[in-house]
Amino acid sequence: MMEIVLTAVWLMLPAYIPNSTAAVFGGGKPIDGGRTLSDGRRILGDGKTYRGLVAGTLCGMLLGLLQTYYLAVNGTIFGVELPSFGELPGGLVVIFTLAFGSLFGDMFMSFFKRRLGLKRGAPLPVIDQLDFVFGAWLLTYIASPVWFTENFTFGVIIAVLIITPLLHFVTNVIGYFIGVKNEPW
Ligand code: CTP
Ligand code: MG
């Protein structure tokens, strides 16, 4: 139980961090350049910026590299043996797709939120809590299918799907109270 929870959180850390750091460092030029589609609505909206995308990806990758370093020195946490993102050139690809994929999933769902007529920041339950998980999994599976299937076993996937909405809720409430998020979701 404890082992699978730690494994799930450890593997997902490079995908978790980009969202909160995008909220902290984001702003400036929106990725859609302010453009709208024929439905008259923004392509992505002002909540998806280049600065958030780049800063979030870099922070997720930095954490992944720190985890890789920790593993090289230590190997376990609370007595639980931790999985690695792979030997370094390939491991860097995994770390990148986890970090970038998470913001990609978030961006992808903003596209659909705008098509549904939801304004920036409007809540879309379940999707808001898990879009970044699916983005991270999809890109990582495409780029590193063997690593993905070896590490994201059925049990780990279920653990991630249960833990993530809880963590997401807690971090967003914190983000809201320290003022980096406009809404607590
Ligand atoms: N952010 C950013 N760039 C990104 C993702 C997020 O700058 N690629 C920043 C924005 O300031 C955004 C905040 O992080 O407002 C919170 O992210 P999120 O909740 O995903 O955006 P929302 O403002 O809720 O917009 P949307 O309705 O499109 O999800
Ligand atoms: Mg939001």
- Report, as ranges of residue numbers, the positions in the chain whose pLDDT lies below 70: none
User: Nearest bound ligand to CA 24?
Assistant: 1
**SS3 label, residue 2:** helix
Query: What confidence score (pLDDT) does residue 111 get?
Result: 98
Our mutation pick for probing the ligand 1 site, out of 25, 29, 48, 128, counting the most ligand atoms within 8 A of Cβ, is: 48
Query: What confidence score (pLDDT) does residue 24 get?
Result: 94
Query: What confidence score (pLDDT) does residue 182 get?
Result: 85
**pTM of the predicted protein model:** 0.95
Distance between CA atoms of residues 39 and 4, nearest Å: 45
Q: Is 110 in the pocket of ligand 1 (CB under 6 A)?
A: yes
**Residue 22: which residues within 8 A CB-CB, separation 6 or more?**
49, 52, 53, 55, 56, 103, 106
List, for residues 65-106, the tens digit of each pLDDT value: 999 999 999 888 888 899 999 988 899 999 999 999 999 999
User: Nearest bound ligand to CA 176?
Assistant: 1
Query: What confidence score (pLDDT) does residue 85 get?
Result: 98
Q: How many Å lie between the centroid of ligand 2 and the Cα of residue 122?
A: 6
